[in-house]
Chains A and B, each alone.
Chain A
Amino acid sequence: MNPQLPIAAGGPVIPSFGGSGKAYACERANGLFCWHWFSQNWGSVLWPALRQHVVLTLIAVAAGFAISTALALIAHRHRWVERPVTAVTAILYTIPSLAMFELLEPIPGFGLSRTTAEVALVSYTLLIMFRNTLTGLRGVPAEVRDAAAGMGMSPRQILVRVELPLALPAIVAGLRIATVTVIALATIAALVDDSGLGVPILTAINNDVFKTELISAGLLAVLLALFADGLLVLLNRYLTPWSRARLA
C-alpha cells in the first residue's frame, strides 16, 4: 500500500487477542494455531460464518442451476441460442472475482449488499452448468431418442424420461464444479456482503495478521468445498444407479 495513504479496510488495528491470563499466552504470541482461541470463538465467529457461507453458496448455486438449465433446454431445442449464450457467459467467467464484485457495486440497487454478492456468484456458475447440461443432452445417442419416439413418446416425454436422466451425470458434474467454485469465490464476497468465511479472514488480516483465525477460516473454507464435492459425488451415484450396475 502507498505509505501516504491511510489503510482502508478494517480501520485501526485492535488486537483482540484476549485477556492477560495464562490461557491467552498463545494468542498474545500470535501462535500458528491456538486451540484456546478456536474453541472460544467457534460459536461466536466461525460457526456463524460457516453457516452464512453455506447459505450464500446454496442460493447462488440454486439460482445459477435454474438459469443455466433453462438456457440449456432452450439451446437444446434451438441450436442458434448456444453461441450467444456461450459467448456472454464466457466473458462473465473470465472477469476476475475481485473486479466483478466491485463492478456491480455502483449499479443502482446493488451497492454493498447480499444482492451484489449473489449476482456475482451466480454469474460464475452459468458457463459451467450451461455447457455441461447441454453437452449431456446432446450426448444422448440418436438411436435411444428414436427408440423412445418409436414407443410413442411425445417430445416432452422424451426430454423428461429419456434425455434428462441420461444427461444426469454431466449435469451433476457441472453442479459439482459450480458448487466448489462458488464456495471458493464466496470468501471474496465478504468485500461487498458482510457474511461468509471471508469475513474472519479479512478481519484476521487487518488484526495484525492473526494466524489462528486465518488458518481456521481458511481450512474451514477448504473443508467445506471438499465436503460439498464429496456430497455431490454421492448424489450422482444415488441418482444414476444404472451406471453402477454397468460397472459391476
Chain B
Amino acid sequence: MNDFVQAFQFIGRDGQILGGPPVPTLVHLSLETLKIAGIAMVISLLIAIPIGLWLGHIHRGSFVAINLGNVWRALPSLAVLAIGVAILGLGLDNVLLALVVLAVPPIITNAYVAVDQIDPELVDAARGMGMTGWQILRKVELPLGVPLVMAGVRTAALFVVSTTTISALTGYSGTLGDIINNETSYHLSGVLGAAICIAALALLVEALLAGVQRAMTPRGLRVTRAAAPEGSLAPAVAEPA
C-alpha cells in the first residue's frame, strides 16, 4: 500500500521525479491529453452528428447505422492504433485518425436511433403546423433526441480519452500514457499516480458531459427522464477502452 501513498506524493509534486531531471508536469500532460481528445471529438462530431441525424430524419440506412455500431464494438483500440501506425507512421495524424475512426460509429448509431425512434405522430403534428423538414429536425427531433445523442457522445468521449492515453503504447508521446509507458524512470509510484490521474480525468469528462446533457435536455423531458428505464433505448452501451 506504500505505493499508493507514494503515488499521491507523486501527484502532489505535479509529476516530478525526486532527484531526477525536470519532466513535463502532470497538469501539462493532462491538458495535452484533453487537447488531443478534444480535437478528435470535434472532428468526430462534425462528421458523425450530421450523418446520424440526417439518416434518422429520413428513416433510411438503419442497416448501416446499426451495424456500424456493432462492428465498432469489435475494434480493439490498440489494434486500430497499431494498424494506423503501420500505415501512417508515428505521429499526431495517426493518433487522431485512429481516435476519429473509433469515435464516429457510436455517435452515428446513437444520433440515428435518437431521431429515428421519435414518435411519428409528433413529427406529423409538426408537419401539420407547417414546419419544414429542417425546422422539424431542429425544433422537434433534435431536442427530443438529446438524451440519446448525448449518450453516444459520452460513450465516444470516454473512449477517446482513454484511447489517447493508450496511444503512448504505440509510441506517441505527450500524454499521460507516457508515464505509464516509462516505469524505469517514473517507478511504480509514478505509473500509479498517472493511472489515478487518467481515471480521474475520465470520471471528470463523464461528469462534465452529463452536465452538458442535462443543460441541453428540454425542461419537459427532464421530468420524465427519471421515470424512463435507464439506457433501455440506447443501442450502443458505453464501451471502455
Q: Which residues from chain A sit less than 8 Å from chain B, CB to CB?
A: 1-2, 4-9, 32, 91, 93-100, 102-103, 105-106, 124, 128, 131, 135, 177, 180-181, 183-185, 187-188, 191, 197-198, 201-202, 204-205, 209, 211-212, 214-215, 217-219, 221-222, 225-226, 229
* A181 cross-chain contacts in B, Cβ below 8 A: 73, 239-240
- Flag whether B130 is at the interface (Cβ < 8 A): no
- Flag whether B123 is at the interface (Cβ < 8 A): no
From A9, A93, A212, contact of B238 by CB (8 A): A93
Q: How far is the CB of A33 from chain B (nearest CB, A)?
A: 8
From B78, B229, B239, contact of A201 by CB (8 A): B78
6 closest A-B pairs by CB: A96-B162, A184-B76, A225-B74, A106-B3, A218-B79, A102-B195
- Is A222 a contact partner of B185 (Cβ separation < 8 A)? no
- Is A8 a contact partner of B184 (Cβ separation < 8 A)? yes
* A93 cross-chain contacts in B, Cβ below 8 A: 238, 240
- Is A214 a contact partner of B162 (Cβ separation < 8 A)? no
From B89, B165, B232, contact of A209 by CB (8 A): B89
- Is A102 a contact partner of B86 (Cβ separation < 8 A)? no
- Is A205 a contact partner of B73 (Cβ separation < 8 A)? no
Nearest opposing residue in chain B for A230, CB measure: B74
Nearest opposing residue in chain B for A111, CB measure: B188
- Is B83 a contact partner of A183 (Cβ separation < 8 A)? no
- Is A177 a contact partner of B237 (Cβ separation < 8 A)? yes
- Flag whether B53 is at the interface (Cβ < 8 A): no
Interface centre among A198, A214, A215 (most CB of B within 10 A): A214
Considering the complex, which residues of chain B in the window 172-195 have a beta carbon less than 8 Å from any beta carbon of chain A? 173, 177-178, 180-185, 188, 191-192, 194-195
- Is B192 a contact partner of A105 (Cβ separation < 8 A)? yes
- Cα distance, A201 to B82, chains bound together (Å): 7
- Flag whether B114 is at the interface (Cβ < 8 A): no
- Cα distance, A6 to B186, chains bound together (Å): 11
Q: A9-B181, A96-B202, A102-B192 are in contact. List 18 more A-B contacts (CB 8 A).
A: A5-B182, A5-B185, A9-B182, A93-B240, A94-B158, A94-B203, A98-B162, A99-B196, A128-B237, A177-B73, A180-B74, A181-B239, A185-B241, A201-B170, A211-B86, A218-B80, A219-B83, A222-B76
- Flag whether B71 is at the interface (Cβ < 8 A): yes
A-B contact pairs, 18 of them (CB 8 A): A1-B182, A4-B23, A5-B23, A6-B185, A96-B202, A98-B165, A135-B232, A183-B74, A184-B73, A184-B79, A187-B76, A201-B169, A214-B85, A215-B82, A218-B79, A218-B86, A221-B78, A229-B70
Q: How far is the CB of B133 from chain A (nearest CB, A)?
A: 33
- Flag whether B26 is at the interface (Cβ < 8 A): no
* A6 cross-chain contacts in B, Cβ below 8 A: 184-185
Nearest opposing residue in chain B for A102, CB measure: B195
Q: How far is the CB of B106 from chain A (nearest CB, A)?
A: 12
- Flag whether B151 is at the interface (Cβ < 8 A): no
Interface centre among B184, B231, B237 (most CB of A within 10 A): B237
- Flag whether B90 is at the interface (Cβ < 8 A): yes
From A7, A98, A106, A217, contact of B79 by CB (8 A): A217
- Cα distance, A201 to B183, chains bound together (Å): 19
- Is B181 a contact partner of A8 (Cβ separation < 8 A)? yes
Q: How far is the CB of A194 from chain B (nearest CB, A)?
A: 15
From A2, A96, A226, contact of B240 by CB (8 A): A96
- Cα distance, A135 to B228, chains bound together (Å): 13
Contact with A along B18-51 (1 / 0, CB 8 A): 0001011000000000000000000000000000
* A131 cross-chain contacts in B, Cβ below 8 A: 231, 237
* B78 cross-chain contacts in A, Cβ below 8 A: 184, 187-188, 198, 201, 218, 221
